Amino acid sequence: MLTVEWSEDKLLLDGLSRAIFGTPAHSACGAVLSCDGVYCGVAFYGIGDELHIRSVGILPEYRGRGYGDFFTRTLIYKFMFYNKDIVVDYHDDYYINLGFASEGDNSMRADCADIVFPSGCGHKGGCR
């Protein structure tokens, strides 16, 4: 079972950040993904006039299972309730299908009303 939790546990956030990104945690605002009680992903964000997704990552041994997609969609869904623009602090074409538009080479933005959650399962005619 996958779960997403908000966390201010600096040791947990720092440990996951070092294992995933190779750098210490750059924010005390984080979310963690767990799979059957094992922490396997971390995301850093910022909240102000707009919401910023700073980074999202999954431990190497858990990649390729759709966990990053689940984690990212869950974060965006929860952020939509703030009714603020959501900004991704990097550019990745993944976010285009969710309704984000490029703001140059370094960020992407979406009004929460423009966000869509297309099927990610790859099956034609709906997911099974």
CATH number at residue 105: 3.40.630.30
How many structural domains is the chain composed of? 1
pLDDT at 120: 60
pLDDT reading at 122 higher than 60: no
pLDDT at 27: 81
Residue 76 lies in a domain: yes
pLDDT reading at 119 higher than 90: no
Closest-CA residue to 57 (of 29, 21, 89): 21
Residue 105 lies in a domain: yes
Range of 39's domain?
Answer: 2-114
Largest Cα span, the chain: 44
pLDDT at 124: 45
What are the backbone angles phi and psi of residue 54, rounded to the nearest 5°? -85, -40
Confidence of residue 123 (pLDDT cuts 50, 70, 90): very low
Query: pLDDT tens digits, residue range 78-105?
Result: 999 999 999 999 999 999 999 999 987 7
Query: pLDDT tens digits, residue range 15-72?
Result: 999 999 999 998 878 999 999 999 999 999 999 999 999 999 999 999 999 999 999 9
